[in-house]
């Protein structure tokens, strides 16, 4: 996986090392962090483009994020696409969980799935919520899922 900063700068170390560097730097500066992970996707000419983000929020002091983009060249139904987004977020959360636990940093996994049954994405809500919470992570869906709904969304438009 190739990760980058919001300004496009590539992260040249492992994502675990980059996150640990951030945690140590922000802790040294006296900032309390919380981490949010989310994925969004867009279909463009039959290609599904995904963006997964790790959002770092400093308590009362703004935030920043790391981004990973990838593509799938086959068609996905809406439910499969929503659950693929969740899978990508879970993979990153699972990888970072020991590190975040070590530094006592809270983590939420955000799904770009609407809680309103009038929206197509709602078809995957129960499975996504069960999957994320079953893995032991805090779960947020729309309208509270800013990491996927806002941050990742900006990276696939």
Residue 1 in this model has a pLDDT that exceeds 90: no
User: What are the domain boundaries of the chain?
Assistant: 3-156
Confidence of residue 103 (pLDDT cuts 50, 70, 90): very high
Residue 157 in this model has a pLDDT that exceeds 90: no
- Sheet hosting strand 33-44, strand order edge to edge: 3-5, 63-72, 47-58, 33-44, 106-114, 138-142
- Average pLDDT of the residues in 14-19: 97
- Average pLDDT of the residues in 84-107: 97
What predicted TM-score, i.e. pTM, was given to this entire model? 0.95
The topology under which CATH files domain 3-156 is Nucleotidyltransferase; domain 5 (3.30.420)
């Amino acid at each position: 996986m190739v990760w980058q900063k919001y300004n496009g700068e590539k992260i040249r170390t492992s994502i675990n090392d980059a996150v640990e560097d951030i945690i140590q730097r922000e802790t040294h500066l006296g900032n309390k962090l919380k981490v949010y992970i989310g994925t969004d996707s867009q279909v463009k000419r039959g290609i599904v483009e995904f963006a997964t983000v790790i959002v770092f929020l400093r308590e009362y002091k703004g935030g920043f994020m790391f981004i990973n983009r990838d593509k799938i060249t086959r068609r996905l139904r809406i439910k499969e696409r929503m659950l693929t987004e969740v899978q990508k977020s879970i993979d990153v959360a699972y990888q970072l969980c020991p590190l975040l636990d070590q530094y006592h940093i809270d983590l939420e996994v955000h799904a770009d799935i609407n809680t309103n049954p009038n929206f197509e994405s709602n078809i995957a809500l129960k499975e996504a919520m069960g999957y994320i919470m079953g893995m032991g992570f805090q779960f947020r869906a729309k309208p509270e899922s800013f990491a996927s709904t806002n941050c990742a969304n900006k990276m696939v438009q």
